[in-house]
A and B are shown apart, each in its own frame.
Chain A
Amino acid sequence: MNAFGLAPLLLIFPVIGVLFNGLVGRKFVEADREIGEKWTGWFGTIMAFSAFAVAVSLFFSLQANGHHAEVVHLFDWINIPSAGFHVPWAMRIDTLSVTMMLVVTGVGSLIHIYAIGYMHGDKDFSRFFAYLNLFLFFMLILVSGSSYLMLFVGWEGVGLCSFLLIGFWFSFVDKNGVWKNANAARKAFVVNRIGDFGIVLAVILTFWAFGSLEFDVVFETALEMFKSKEPLLLFGQEVAFGSVVTAITALFLLGATGKSAQIPLYVWLPDAMAGPTPVSALIHAATMVTSGIYLIVRSNTLFEMARLSVGSELLFGVISTPDLVALVGASTALLAGLIAFTQFDIKGVLAYSTVSQLGFMIAAVGMGAYVAGMFHLMMHAFFKALLFMSAGSVIHGMEHGHHHLHDHDDDDFDPQDMRTMGGLRNRMNITSVVYIIGALALAGIVPLAGFWSKDEILAHASANDGGIFTAVYVMLVIAAISTAFYMGRQLKMVFFGEPRHAAAAHAEESSNLMTYPLIALAALAIVGGLANLPHFAAEHGAEAGGFSYLALEHWLEHSLHAFELTEEHVLHMPHTPIQIQWSVAIISTILAVGSISLAFFVIYKDTSKANSAPDPLQKTPIWWTSVLPLNTLYMDYFIPAFNRMAKWVAISLDWVFWHDFVHNRLVRDMFVTFAAFTSSVLDQKGVDGIVNGVASTTRRLSGFLRQTESGYVRSYALSIFMGAVLLVIYFMFATAG
């Protein structure tokens, strides 16, 4: 008995939610605020939970059938028989996709509950839940699609939902008159589209190289070509297999940098925090932004083949794609981690932290540590969703506190600014406890979830020598230190010390609807590490003492062919230690604890006092934010330049030159001028002159002749008579002659 037949329900439940909330939800809410919110909110939530239930049943079905991947065919999509192109709508149920489904629907459901509390009183309450369900739908397509093209459907679909949700409060205008939310939404979509450019090209290239877009077929065909070591005949020329695979994976990387917010395309994610907080938690921390990692893990065989490229097959002739992936990830982790120091917005810190953690994951998959990457993805989903939603709870509390202050009418109050907080631990008990758990998990404090997953990545980096591994290891360690530092700073500024603003002094704890999901996630953030606990001693088998170590690895191995192929010595994945690396673990723990303490007890010691100087770091120049000022580069140079160029093309080139000058001036006016010349000179003087000349001559002649016309009948008669006489004379002579 298996539940694969239920798989379509995974997509159908969210669609029902979208239809309900989109079509009739608004009427419910308008009719009765309280009951309407309950109905629409819980309806959407139940749909998410139902999808979660389906995912769980799929999980057990896979357990039962020995982890064999199952493809559930839905119906035909694009089918062009003559071109041999055939892509159906089909779902691929394997251990990797089910893992993602569980994360998406599980964390997603909790966030739905939280959102019922968070969005309470919003006039577009039902629209919000319609979007959330729509997001789930597309995210599930992304992770369950059986082909690259279906993955791309989800990929673009979640981008759309991200656009809609960032722009949820699209009417908002900040005090400078900027449409902040609408701009952020558009920025997210457009930047993601730059990444999609890579995906589209990669998908098309994949089809022409391997003749299909189905994951199974692509990987098998690629493997055969790889084994045969013969060049491909592609687009009429022979191309080395390594070059093709390098090109495809590099284009995938471009897509991943867009969706997973890596250098150089990470710039949209910090702005995306303009959206409602549940959105930041669900889309911009836990699920959507990890789809780049999912894409790379899914394509693991291609990336591992690309790792073996040599010489001219390499990217730009110098680097293999997985190495580039690892470097991009590591440098993003480092850079974003450092930028997070400088943020004052409570969500801003978390946003850069997310970019940084995504960098960890990307670096992991680039190094071939696919399981570690997925492990970190899951753990990150737990604790970062937790952090974001707790931050949302803090913001709510601050807004409440601000509402209480009728005498304090400062319009500049920003409930997200950490400089106005402080001492919230006393006002918001649950929130502060779960926040601290989340922060410690993120910082990598043993034995919380983040410790295990981050440590596995670091262990992998340190266990391999040469190549880029050492560089990546160093960068990631520094990033880990900075992670601990900025979280320590944030904890101190938000929850400890004295309130620095009256609003903070009057903040209130949020409702149960918001705090219960936080507690659930906090529990996951504590015990999540059990999912892939490493062996502690060399002699341990797969299971010891009734506990399965490396459970996630054994589970995912069934979807990661690169493992199997490495055992067969076809591919050579970098070595992953299965045993805990004590040196790495101890060093990173010491550094994390030290770093938190440094922030907490040394640098931000004074912050605890009310009305103290806002941030000691402001005194020292923070040079690293200007190391790679990508956002400035885009916003201040690239976009204005594009605007100017577009205006020039549209107004000067197309309209003034091509439309007005060439068509109206040159063609039309030249024709008009020519016509005027013809009519005034040629026609008037020339043709008309001749005609007029004939006429005037005739007139002069006739003026002379008219004098012969007297008008008297007799004179006409006489002329007739004369004529007759002349005729007679003529005939007489003619006949005589």
Chain B
Amino acid sequence: MSEITINSYVILSTILFVIGALGVLLRRNAIIVFMSIEMMLNAANLLFVAFSRHLGNLDGQVLVFFVITVAAAEVAVGLALIVAIFRTKKSIDIDTLNLMKG
């Protein structure tokens, strides 16, 4: 059984982040895009905690709380937006939201 080192956390967090990023970039369902963003945030959280433990310093853990708070707020606002979009567009496909096209 090999030792669980800091490298393992970094690799896991990277995998999670890439999955999240790909989800944001490739998927068209707004809910899924949203969940992918959450995944990226949590990948960052994992890394914060891991390094906090590794360096014996509590700063990382404090930051994680902030991130979770922001994420919670973001969920609230984001879901509200999605509901509003659905009401007007009868769809949550983000490709229909191209009003910003130049």
Chain A residues packing against B (C-beta within 8 Å): 702, 705-714, 716-718, 721
| Residue among A709, A714, A716 making CB contact with B26, cutoff 8 Å | A714
Bound complex: CA A708 to CA B21 (Å): 21
15 residue pairs A–B, Cβ–Cβ below 8 Å:
A702-B102, A706-B102, A709-B100, A709-B102, A711-B97, A711-B102, A713-B94, A713-B95, A713-B97, A714-B24, A714-B25, A714-B28, A714-B94, A717-B24, A721-B21
Q: Judging by beta carbons under 8 Å apart, are A712 and B102 in contact?
A: no
Q: Judging by beta carbons under 8 Å apart, are A710 and B101 in contact?
A: yes
Bound complex: CA A708 to CA B100 (Å): 11
| CB-nearest residue of chain A to B33 | A713
Bound complex: CA A716 to CA B25 (Å): 9
Chain B residues packing against A (C-beta within 8 Å): 21, 24-26, 28, 33, 94-95, 97-102
Rounded to whole Å, the gap between the CB of A714 and the closest CB of chain B is: 6
Q: Judging by beta carbons under 8 Å apart, are A711 and B101 in contact?
A: yes
Q: Which residues of A contact B26 (CB under 8 A)?
A: 714
| Residue among B25, B33, B98 making CB contact with A711, cutoff 8 Å | B98
Q: Which residues of B contact A721 (CB under 8 A)?
A: 21, 24-25
| Residue among A702, A706, A717 making CB contact with B25, cutoff 8 Å | A717
| CB-nearest residue of chain B to A703 | B102
Rounded to whole Å, the gap between the CB of A726 and the closest CB of chain B is: 15
Given A705-B102, A706-B102, A707-B102, A712–B95 Cβ distance below 8 Å?
A: yes
The 5 closest A-B pairs by CB, nearest first: A711-B101, A711-B98, A709-B102, A706-B102, A713-B94
| CB-nearest residue of chain A to B37 | A717
| Residue among B25, B97, B102 making CB contact with A708, cutoff 8 Å | B102
Bound complex: CA A285 to CA B100 (Å): 109
Q: Which residues of B contact A713 (CB under 8 A)?
A: 33, 94-95, 97
Rounded to whole Å, the gap between the CB of B44 and the closest CB of chain A is: 12
Bound complex: CA A710 to CA B96 (Å): 11
Bound complex: CA A707 to CA B99 (Å): 14
Q: Judging by beta carbons under 8 Å apart, are A712 and B98 in contact?
A: yes
Q: A714-B25, A714-B28, A714-B94 are in contact. List 13 more A-B contacts (CB 8 A).
A: A702-B102, A705-B102, A709-B100, A710-B98, A710-B101, A711-B101, A712-B94, A713-B97, A714-B24, A716-B100, A717-B25, A721-B21, A721-B25
Bound complex: CA A598 to CA B26 (Å): 147
Bound complex: CA A715 to CA B30 (Å): 14
Bound complex: CA A713 to CA B99 (Å): 10
| CB-nearest residue of chain B to A725 | B21
| CB-nearest residue of chain B to A706 | B102
Bound complex: CA A708 to CA B25 (Å): 17
| CB-nearest residue of chain A to B36 | A717
Q: Which residues of A contact B97 (CB under 8 A)?
A: 711, 713
| CB-nearest residue of chain B to A713 | B94
| CB-nearest residue of chain B to A710 | B101
| CB-nearest residue of chain B to A717 | B24
Bound complex: CA A667 to CA B77 (Å): 68
Q: Which residues of B contact A716 (CB under 8 A)?
A: 100
Q: Which residues of A contact B102 (CB under 8 A)?
A: 702, 705-709, 711
Rounded to whole Å, the gap between the CB of A170 and the closest CB of chain B is: 91
Bound complex: CA A718 to CA B97 (Å): 16
Q: Which residues of A contact B28 (CB under 8 A)?
A: 714
Q: Judging by beta carbons under 8 Å apart, are A718 and B25 in contact?
A: yes
Bound complex: CA A717 to CA B20 (Å): 12
Bound complex: CA A707 to CA B101 (Å): 9
| CB-nearest residue of chain A to B99 | A711
| CB-nearest residue of chain B to A718 | B25
Please indicate which of the listed interface residues A708, A714, A716 has the most CB atoms of chain B within 10 Å of its own CB: A714
Bound complex: CA A187 to CA B100 (Å): 93
Rounded to whole Å, the gap between the CB of B31 and the closest CB of chain A is: 13
Q: Which residues of B contact A712 (CB under 8 A)?
A: 94-95, 98
Bound complex: CA A709 to CA B98 (Å): 9
Q: Which residues of B contact A718 (CB under 8 A)?
A: 25
Bound complex: CA A306 to CA B21 (Å): 127
Rounded to whole Å, the gap between the CB of B35 and the closest CB of chain A is: 14
Q: Which residues of B contact A709 (CB under 8 A)?
A: 100-102
Q: Which residues of A contact B33 (CB under 8 A)?
A: 713
Q: Which residues of A contact B24 (CB under 8 A)?
A: 714, 717, 721
| CB-nearest residue of chain A to B28 | A714
Q: Which residues of A contact B94 (CB under 8 A)?
A: 712-714
Rounded to whole Å, the gap between the CB of A652 and the closest CB of chain B is: 69
Q: Which residues of A contact B99 (CB under 8 A)?
A: 711
| CB-nearest residue of chain B to A708 | B102
| CB-nearest residue of chain A to B94 | A713
| CB-nearest residue of chain B to A709 | B102
Bound complex: CA A718 to CA B27 (Å): 12
Bound complex: CA A310 to CA B30 (Å): 128
Bound complex: CA A717 to CA B94 (Å): 12
Bound complex: CA A711 to CA B97 (Å): 7
Rounded to whole Å, the gap between the CB of B65 and the closest CB of chain A is: 24
Bound complex: CA A714 to CA B26 (Å): 7
Q: Which residues of B contact A707 (CB under 8 A)?
A: 102
Bound complex: CA A713 to CA B26 (Å): 10
Q: Which residues of A contact B21 (CB under 8 A)?
A: 721
Bound complex: CA A711 to CA B101 (Å): 4
Rounded to whole Å, the gap between the CB of A208 and the closest CB of chain B is: 94
Rounded to whole Å, the gap between the CB of A386 and the closest CB of chain B is: 117
| CB-nearest residue of chain A to B26 | A714
Q: Which residues of B contact A706 (CB under 8 A)?
A: 102
| CB-nearest residue of chain A to B30 | A713
Bound complex: CA A15 to CA B93 (Å): 112
| CB-nearest residue of chain A to B101 | A711
| CB-nearest residue of chain B to A714 | B25
Q: Which residues of B contact A702 (CB under 8 A)?
A: 102
Q: Which residues of B contact A708 (CB under 8 A)?
A: 102
Rounded to whole Å, the gap between the CB of B33 and the closest CB of chain A is: 8
Q: Which residues of A contact B95 (CB under 8 A)?
A: 712-714
Bound complex: CA A711 to CA B98 (Å): 4
Q: Which residues of B contact A714 (CB under 8 A)?
A: 24-26, 28, 94-95
Rounded to whole Å, the gap between the CB of A718 and the closest CB of chain B is: 6
Q: Which residues of B contact A717 (CB under 8 A)?
A: 24-25
Bound complex: CA A713 to CA B100 (Å): 9
Please indicate which of the listed interface residues B24, B33, B101, B102 has the most CB atoms of chain A within 10 Å of its own CB: B102
Q: Which residues of A contact B25 (CB under 8 A)?
A: 714, 717-718, 721
Bound complex: CA A706 to CA B102 (Å): 5
Rounded to whole Å, the gap between the CB of A161 and the closest CB of chain B is: 97
Q: Which residues of A contact B101 (CB under 8 A)?
A: 709-711
Bound complex: CA A710 to CA B94 (Å): 12
Rounded to whole Å, the gap between the CB of A181 and the closest CB of chain B is: 94
Bound complex: CA A10 to CA B83 (Å): 114
Bound complex: CA A641 to CA B21 (Å): 106
Rounded to whole Å, the gap between the CB of B16 and the closest CB of chain A is: 15
Bound complex: CA A717 to CA B100 (Å): 13
Rounded to whole Å, the gap between the CB of B6 and the closest CB of chain A is: 19
Rounded to whole Å, the gap between the CB of B95 and the closest CB of chain A is: 6
| CB-nearest residue of chain A to B24 | A717
| CB-nearest residue of chain A to B21 | A721
Rounded to whole Å, the gap between the CB of A715 and the closest CB of chain B is: 9
Bound complex: CA A707 to CA B102 (Å): 7
Bound complex: CA A708 to CA B101 (Å): 9
Bound complex: CA A712 to CA B98 (Å): 5
